[in-house]
Amino acid sequence: MPPRTLLLPVLLLATLLSMVGCGSWGSEDSSTTTFTEPRSPLDIGPRAGDSPVAVILAARGEVLFKKKGCTVCHAYGVRLTGPDLKGVTRRRTAQWMERQMLHPDIMVYEDPLTRDLFAEYNLMMANQGLQPDEAKCIVEHLKRLDEEAELRGELTARR
């Protein structure tokens, strides 16, 4: 092959290598890049806190939250070994929250939000053997906490 026919492939390769070496391969100006959270099919729709609190279920949820050991990893307004739960009902759907409580061992493999939490905390949520009605009660408890925080001006009001 004559040297002239090698020129184009060599130039292309040199250009690609220089882009990788300079760190510009695939990068964009950070001022125009926007972060988008991974989407979960379970987290599409109204947020859990968009519906009124079921007070009786919330009271049961408060007891379950303590009894099932959730307080070991989670607090409200404070980050422990697990995420701070303040505002969680404003960020997540009830469906996502319930599934996370019922099947954290499955969610870490199937759900992009759960995988991100696992990566951030380096800890998989323990399966506490909750029943579906118990998970609903804990969601109601968290909704009540968020509603109270909103009334104190600690959370942005719902839209």
Dihedral of CA 115/120/123/126: which sign?
negative
Q: Give the closest residue to 96 by CA, choosing from 50, 51, 122, 135.
A: 135
Q: Is residue 71 part of a domain?
A: yes
pLDDT confidence of 153, banded at 50, 70, 90? Answer: very high
Give me the mean pLDDT over the 124-148 stretch. 97
- For residue 97, being part of any structural domain is answered with yes
Q: What is the mean pLDDT of the chain?
A: 83
Report yes or no on 5 lying in a domain: no
Would you say residue 20 lies in a domain? no
Find out whether 92 and 39 touch, Cβ atoms under 8 Å.
no
pLDDT band at 38 (very low <50, low <70, confident <90, very high): low
- The enclosing domain of 133 has a CATH number of 1.10.760.10
Predicted pLDDT of residue 157 = 64
Tally the domains of the chain.
1
Question: For 9-18, how does the pLDDT look when each residue is reduced to its tens digit (9 = 90+)?
Answer: 444 444 433 4
Which domain does 133 fall in, by range?
52-153
- 46 in any annotated domain: no
Residue 139 lies in a domain: yes
Residue written as tokens 């290598």? 17
Structural domain includes residue 26 = no
Could you tell me which residue, 95 or 1, shows the higher pLDDT? 95
Q: What is the pLDDT of residue 37?
A: 59
Would 18 be classed as within a structural domain? no
* Higher per-residue confidence, 130 vs 33: 130
For residue 135, the SS3 value is helix
What pLDDT is attached to residue 39? 84
Kindly state the average pLDDT of the residues 59-87: 96
User: How many CB atoms within 10 Å of residue 43?
Assistant: 20
pLDDT value for 14: 44
pLDDT of 158: 60
